[in-house]
Amino acid sequence: MDKLRIIFLCTGNSCRSQMAEGWARALAGDDIEVKSAGIEAHGQNAMAIRVMKEVGIDISRQESIRVNGEMLEWADLLVTLCDHAEAQCPLLSPHTVKVHLPLADPAKIRGEDLALLDEFRQTREKVRQRVEFVIEQVALEAAV
């Protein structure tokens, strides 16, 4: 069987979807193929890179890119991580399944560095939980 191909999609592909791509690679390894994208491309987020590095996952080489038709055709599973991505996602091919697991965007929060760092850490853990859920569901489906 071919590997399952997953795209994690959020608004800017700088935080949530980037974290999800990193977690999926770390948790599922070679069992899946994974990409991340955004409705827009906001570039890399230094705070997201920092908090992922704290758990031993380097996302600094991942690119912030806009989703396109080729990516959507490639994907077996699309996981939207925010309501904006869910609403603005282009049409999917008939074989692509979409799952919506929304999270607030930590990049929109303003405040002191320590408070921001805490928000990004909380988001990192929420993203991990969502990625674990997706991987568990994929494993259950494969077992059937």
Please write the tens of the pLDDT for every residue from 31-67.
899 999 999 999 999 999 999 999 999 999 999 999 9
- Residue 142 in this model has a pLDDT that exceeds 70: no
- Among candidate residues 49, 72, 89, 101, the one labeled active-site is 89
Confidence tier at 114 by pLDDT (50, 70, 90): confident
114 vs 36, residue with greater confidence? 36
- Among candidate residues 24, 52, 67, 82, the one labeled active-site is 82
Domain boundaries, the chain: 4-143
Residue 26 burial by Cβ neighbours in a 10 Å radius (0-12, 13-18, 19+):
middle
Q: Which CATH number fits domain 4-143: 3.30.43.10, 3.40.50.2300, 3.40.50.720, 3.40.640.10?
A: 3.40.50.2300
Looking at every residue in the chain, the average pLDDT score rounds to 92
Annotation marks residue 15 as catalytic: no
Percent over 90 (pLDDT), the chain: 78
> Residues 119, 122, 126, 132: is their CA dihedral positive or negative?
positive
Question: So what's the pLDDT on residue 58?
Answer: 98
- Among candidate residues 6, 7, 9, 10, the one labeled active-site is 10
